[in-house]
Amino acid sequence: MGNIASFLKPAMVGALALFVMQCASTAPVKELSDARQEIALAEQEDAKKHASDELDAAVSSLKEAHDQLAAGENDTAKATALAADATATKARLDSVGPFTADMQEKAEELIASADEAYAEKLATDDFESAKLLKEKGDDEHAKAKDASSSAADQGDGMTALESGNILDQYRSAYLNYQQSQDAAAKARATALAQKDQLLSSLSGAESILEKA
């Protein structure tokens, strides 16, 4: 009995130690999820065009992190996922500025196109909404550029909080531009439809007058 007890005691201690180690090294679910989301935002913000090297590196690191997770290397997978997240953030910082500028230009073009279709008179609500959203985008865009310029003056001293705020401001700007584009496109389509109806009604009235 004593021999069994003397054998079981160290075995139990070893099992307990293994259990503690496993608990201390959990799967980095949050880190992997954060990296995936950051990469998705980078892709949305045209990083493939403006920061392809950083984007490719982030995607490669994320794949590596998943391989490490599958191999049970939780701590290593966590570190690699964090690296993927950071690289994706770098890609976003390099691409979000020109991407937002492109979105601004598209909003301006669509508003001008809607104006040419007399949307100001024929689709007033959507046209005014497009202009208002464009103005909101301009305000956020200006704030983002100012914050980005200030951070650039610091060199490598930008904190994660500062970079996050800059990205949030740019995102707010281009989302407003996107909504402005949608409203302008709708205003133009409505105006053209109204114009066709007016022309059709006018043509019908002329036909009636000719028969009278």
pLDDT at residue 185, as a whole number: 98
Rounded (5°) CA angle 22-24-25: 65
pLDDT at residue 158, as a whole number: 78
Mean pLDDT of the chain: 87
pLDDT at residue 151, as a whole number: 83
- Residue 14 in domain: no
- Residue 177 in domain: yes
Higher pLDDT, 81 or 5: 81
- Residue 118 in domain: yes
pLDDT at residue 68, as a whole number: 98
- Residue 24 in domain: no
What's the rounded Cα separation, in Å, for the pair 47 and 38? 11
pLDDT at residue 194, as a whole number: 87
Taking only the tens place, the pLDDT of each residue in 69-116 is 999 999 999 999 999 999 999 999 999 999 999 999 999 999 999 999
Cα distances (Å, whole numbers) of residue 33 to 27, 30, 168: 11, 5, 19
- Residue 153 in domain: yes
Q: Where does the pLDDT of residue 183 fall: very low under 50, low under 70, confident under 90, or very high at 90 and above?
A: very high
What percentage of the chain carries pLDDT values higher than 70?
79
Q: Domain of 163?
A: 29-211
Cα dihedral 144, 147, 153, 158 in deg (nearest 10): -100
pLDDT at residue 17, as a whole number: 44
Q: Where does the pLDDT of residue 199 fall: very low under 50, low under 70, confident under 90, or very high at 90 and above?
A: low
Taking only the tens place, the pLDDT of each residue in 35-50 is 999 999 999 999 999 9
- Residue 58 in domain: yes
- Residue 154 in domain: yes
pLDDT at residue 25, as a whole number: 72
Q: What DSSP line would sit under the chain, residue for residue?
A: -HHHHHHHHHHHHHHHHHHHHHHHS---HHHHHHHHHHHHHHHHTTHHHH-HHHHHHHHHHHHHHHHHHHTT-HHHHHHHHHHHHHHHHHHHHHHHHHHHHHHHHHHHHHHHHHHHTTHHHHSHHHHHHHHHHHHHHHHHHHHHHHHHHHHHHTGGG--HHHHHHHHHHHHHHHHHHHHHHHHHHHHHHHHHHHHHHHHHHHHHHHHHHHH-
What's the rounded Cα separation, in Å, for the pair 114 and 126? 10
Taking only the tens place, the pLDDT of each residue in 122-162 is 999 999 999 999 999 999 999 999 999 888 777 666 788 89
Q: Quick check: 69 and 114 in contact, CB under 8 A?
A: no
- Residue 44 in domain: yes
Write phi, then psi, for 45 (nearest 5 degrees). Answer: -90, 25
pLDDT at residue 13, as a whole number: 44
Q: Is the pLDDT of residue 7 over 90?
A: no
Task: Give how many domains the chain has, as a whole number.
Answer: 1
What percentage of the chain carries pLDDT values higher than 90?
72
- How many C-beta atoms lie closer than 10 Å to residue 130's C-beta? 27
